[in-house]
Chains A and B, each alone.
Chain A
Amino acid sequence: MYSCGDLKKGLKLMIDGEPHVIVSFDFTKPGKGQALYKCKLRNMITGSLFDRTYRSGESFEPASLEDRDMQFLYKDESGYVFMDSKSYEQVTLPEETLGDDKYFLKDNMEVDILMFNDRGIGVTLPNFVNLRVTQSDPWVKGDTAAGNNKPATVESGYTLAVPSFVEEGDLIQIDTRTGQYATRVKE
């Protein structure tokens, strides 16, 4: 069982017999009062989102989900198709289930597919993916302040903030867990 102290973004819980994932989480505590744990939860089967606030002392059942090693094959009208590397069984995930992860999928990428009762309900990507910058404005000369950002778009169409020295054509590493720039890749 989980306690309130375990709650965090990404944690998966069983609520009313269905797996839910915490999509955003905040701890709050009024004045000298009790701790409150504010969660936005997504039902991993229906996709519905709702808010719930828990108080210290409550406990939670972990979601019983199975992770299976799969490979990304292709995308078609039905969604994103993955194949179990051992059994060759195929699983399709709809676009909404992937969210921003769809921008980080590459052909033949090895991923974990989350299964609940033989149904694919989520994907866990490798922590880092390398993608090439296809569009970014040049670095303004004289702009030397450390930490300055500019927007950049990568080959999959995803746009993120990068340090100002990153140029078009550069290969960059993105943290798939946060969607943020990690580092420039030397080629």
Chain B
Amino acid sequence: MEINWALARKMEKLAKRARIVQAIRAFFVANDFLEVETPHRIPGNAPELHIDAVPSAGWFLHTSPELCMKRLLAAGFPKIFQICRCWREGERGSRHLPEYTMLEWYRAGADYRQLMVDCEELLAALAPERNLLWQNRRIDLTPPWPRLSVAEAFARFAGVTAEVALAADRFDEIVALEIEPRLGWEKPVILFDYPAPLAALARRKAENPAVAERFELYIGGLELANAFSELTDPREQRERFAAEEAARRAAGKAPYPVPEPFLQELGHMPEAAGIALGVDRLAMLLTGSTTIDEVTAFTSEDL
């Protein structure tokens, strides 16, 4: 039996990936964020219709560390970050792994606009040359990056409004097939202000409650991060969870228990903003990799 050549070939990219993760950690430490660890196995996730968790001995593997990280915010931790594995059942493609690495960070006393700036500064720290080469395109990372509202993006690329698309149950496919592939080829693009029904844990915009303060970061047509100004009203959060959980059960999905400790403590959470960023995808961008497999030592198919 020869050595595993396919794995040996990944050595250079895996070394780059390790340096990227080390640089992410150094960036947050230098900016006074506290690194935290929260359990990977939890009684239930925040209910979301289109995200399925892997069952684990009566509980579930987390699909995001968000609930525990917000409980830390509510207990007074002002700036926290975590780099951890997350699991999402059935998600496998050239940009998806059912087990992948997530970076999340949260800031008390801030809203999503501060996180946009954090993203610009994080990329500046990871790519000091201020550009990257991906899919034969040179992408300029110099801040500020363009901000594009969801409404503008639909007007420009889709020919229908976001509301019409949402009513016709076509919002996701238009974003995935028409909008996303066109975003972030000159500079990264921040797509912001999503219809409120699409942001179960985000705060509604005070001046326009039809949209929620949520943004996604796109670089080279790749969706890299999702961010919210966090919803801090426990009553509204409980109602939204109940609606989402009802939709999950109606679709035949495994029921989650109501995350009571989170809802109880949410009332103490200060105004805050939080973001989740896919570390594997960031490594794809910074190593010029077309598939997520190239920056991952072992996919589930390799085991």
Binding site for B on A (CB under 8 A): 5, 26-36, 53, 55, 146-147, 149, 163, 181, 183-184
Binding site for A on B (CB under 8 A): 2-3, 5, 8-11, 48, 50-51, 90-96, 171-173, 175-177, 180, 198-200, 216, 223, 226
CB closest chain-B residue, reference A4:
B90
Say whether B172 contacts A30, CB under 8 Å: yes
Q: Given A33, A147, A149, which contacts B176 in the complex, CB threshold below 8 Å?
A: A33
Say whether A184 contacts B9, CB under 8 Å: no
A164 to B12, CA, bound (A): 17
A110 to B85, CA, bound (A): 46
Q: A163-B5, A183-B2 are in contact. Are A30 and B51 (CB under 8 A)?
A: no
Say whether B95 contacts A28, CB under 8 Å: yes
Q: List 20 A-B contacts (CB under 8 A).
A: A5-B90, A26-B93, A26-B95, A27-B92, A28-B93, A28-B95, A30-B175, A31-B172, A32-B48, A33-B175, A34-B172, A34-B173, A36-B173, A36-B176, A55-B173, A146-B8, A163-B2, A163-B5, A181-B5, A184-B2
Q: Given A26, A35, A147, A163, which contacts B11 in the complex, CB threshold below 8 Å?
A: A147
Q: A36-B176, A149-B9, A184-B2 are in contact. Are A30 and B223 (CB under 8 A)?
A: yes
Neighbouring A residues of B180 by C-beta, 8 Å? 30
A35 to B177, CA, bound (A): 12
Distance from A47 Cβ to chain B, minimum over Cβ atoms (Å): 25
Q: A5-B90, A27-B93, A28-B96 are in contact. Are A36 and B5 (CB under 8 A)?
A: no
Q: A33-B198, A147-B5 are in contact. List 12 more A-B contacts (CB 8 A).
A: A27-B92, A27-B93, A28-B93, A30-B175, A31-B175, A31-B198, A32-B226, A34-B50, A35-B50, A35-B91, A147-B11, A183-B2
A25 to B223, CA, bound (A): 19
A32 to B66, CA, bound (A): 14
A26 to B221, CA, bound (A): 15
Leading 7 A-B pairs by shortest Cβ distance: A27-B93, A33-B172, A147-B8, A147-B9, A30-B176, A146-B8, A30-B175
CB closest chain-A residue, reference B173:
A36
Neighbouring B residues of A35 by C-beta, 8 Å? 50, 90-91
Neighbouring A residues of B8 by C-beta, 8 Å? 146-147
Say whether B51 contacts A32, CB under 8 Å: yes
Say whether A31 contacts B216, CB under 8 Å: yes
Distance from A184 Cβ to chain B, minimum over Cβ atoms (Å): 7
A181 to B90, CA, bound (A): 29
A171 to B90, CA, bound (A): 40
Distance from A145 Cβ to chain B, minimum over Cβ atoms (Å): 8
CB closest chain-B residue, reference A57:
B251
Neighbouring B residues of A34 by C-beta, 8 Å? 50, 172-173
CB closest chain-A residue, reference B179:
A30
CB closest chain-A residue, reference B172:
A33
Distance from A20 Cβ to chain B, minimum over Cβ atoms (Å): 20
Say whether B173 contacts A53, CB under 8 Å: yes
A125 to B177, CA, bound (A): 35
Distance from B105 Cβ to chain A, minimum over Cβ atoms (Å): 18
Say whether A29 contacts B9, CB under 8 Å: no
Q: Given B5, B11, B198, which contacts A32 in the complex, CB threshold below 8 Å?
A: B198
A184 to B93, CA, bound (A): 31
A162 to B10, CA, bound (A): 15
Neighbouring A residues of B171 by C-beta, 8 Å? 33
Neighbouring B residues of A28 by C-beta, 8 Å? 93, 95-96, 176
Distance from A164 Cβ to chain B, minimum over Cβ atoms (Å): 10
Distance from A124 Cβ to chain B, minimum over Cβ atoms (Å): 21
A163 to B2, CA, bound (A): 11
Q: Given B11, B96, B199, B200, which contacts A146 in the complex, CB threshold below 8 Å?
A: B11
